[in-house]
Amino acid sequence: HPSMEEPEVANTYNDDGVPNNADDTIKLNGKLMKQMRGTMLQYQMIEKGDHIMCCVSGGKDSATLLHLLLQMQRKLSRDEPFFHLTAVHLDQKQPGYNGSSLVTWLRDQVGVPFRIIEQDTYSIVKEKTAVGKTYCSLCSRLRRGVLYSVAHEIGANKIALGHHGDDAIETLMLNMIHGGKMKSMPARYYSEDRGVHVIRPLMGCLEDDIRRFAMEMKFPILPCNLCGSQPDAHRAKVKLLCASLEAMNPMAKRNMINAMSDVRPSHLLDVDLREACGMDGATGRVTDADRAALVHALFPAWQQGQGSMEPSLFGKDI
């Protein structure tokens, strides 16, 4: 009798490298691309002729970033590439490391120029980190130093990192809770010492979307023996705190990302910041109209004759 089983059909892919039979994945790809494009436009991250070094750690975030950057390169390019892209992965010599799946993906599926750098930062981190302290800070500094050097070697003028909106929120909360500072991570900055721009195109994207997209795209994920070995680290606890905030309001994380780009100096306690924004540090009255005009939501109120910015909560004076 002839077989009743349906013949297996091989996946075909659209121009964005997404399976044609995965409607949800196509929509998610479009959502992430729209958010990334908005961030890149806002912070002027890409110019014609750039050579961008995309750091690929072996995690979901950097794999998604590389995938989206390649899409953008294809969309912007005509006769020649609008910008050049090189993927760089750092083998930190962690015990049990096997990067073969990542190399195969980069070579056979992504088809992007790439380099694998071998540097034993793992042993240094394990040796230098005191008992009870987290590995993250030292590990990050060592990796960044290596990557700066590689960027110069290959002639890249910009380094792209896979940090996303959740990373910015968690960094902000960690600095507020443990450091007493309102400080997060910028979407773009320039390293004067190294002479290279660092960009974070995924700042407008949420981790849940990236995780789901990476799973559906079956990106190769390499485990990290440093990050995964400290489940009680402060950042893990802040993740739980953020999850509890979403129970109060499903838009909590999205609103917190928006809040970091909509700061109201008149309603904060930083006297120096008030003065830098053209206000009297104590009273909040506008003293320099030119500087105040540069501050969102400050100058229009002064212009309307209010004179000072009284604190308010949900539109009501307090």
Closest to 135 (Cα-Cα) out of 148, 147, 122 = 122
One DSSP character per residue, 102-157 reads: HHHIIIIII---EEEEE--HHHHHHHHSPTTS-SHHHHHHHHHHHHHHHHHHHT-S
Alpha helices in 222-298 (DSSP H): 234-248, 252-259, 271-276, 289-292
Q: Please report how the helices 60-76 and 207-217 are oriented relative to each other, as an axis angle in degrees rounded to 10.
A: 80
pLDDT at 294: 80
pLDDT at 92: 86
pLDDT at 11: 62
Q: Is the whole-model pTM more than 0.75?
A: yes
Residue 170 to residue 156: CA distance in whole angstroms: 29
Query: Which two three-digit tokens encode residue 238?
Result: 């802040």
What is the SS3 assignment for 212? helix
Amino acid (one-letter) located at 112: V
* Sign of the torsion angle spanned by Cα atoms 67, 69, 72, 74: negative
- pLDDT (tens digit per residue) in 296-316: 655 554 454 444 444 443 333
- pLDDT (tens digit per residue) in 116-135: 999 888 888 888 877 767 77
pLDDT at 23: 82
Query: Which two three-digit tokens encode residue 237?
Result: 């606890």
pLDDT at 318 over 70: no
Amino acid (one-letter) located at 72: M
What is the SS3 assignment for 38? helix
- pLDDT (tens digit per residue) in 212-236: 999 999 999 998 766 655 555 788 8
CB-based contacts of 155: which residues, under 8 Å, 6+ apart? 51
Residue 283 to residue 179: CA distance in whole angstroms: 27
Closest to 279 (Cα-Cα) out of 262, 301, 289, 303 = 289
pLDDT at 168 over 60: yes
Looking at residues 272-276, what average pLDDT do you find? 94
What is the SS3 assignment for 189? strand
Beta bridge partners of 191: 196
What is the SS3 assignment for 159? strand
Question: Contact at 8 Å (CB) between 266 and 182?
Answer: no
- pLDDT (tens digit per residue) in 47-72: 999 999 999 999 999 999 999 999 99
Span of 44-53, 96-105, 189-198, 303-312 with lowest mean pLDDT: 303-312
pLDDT at 186 over 80: yes
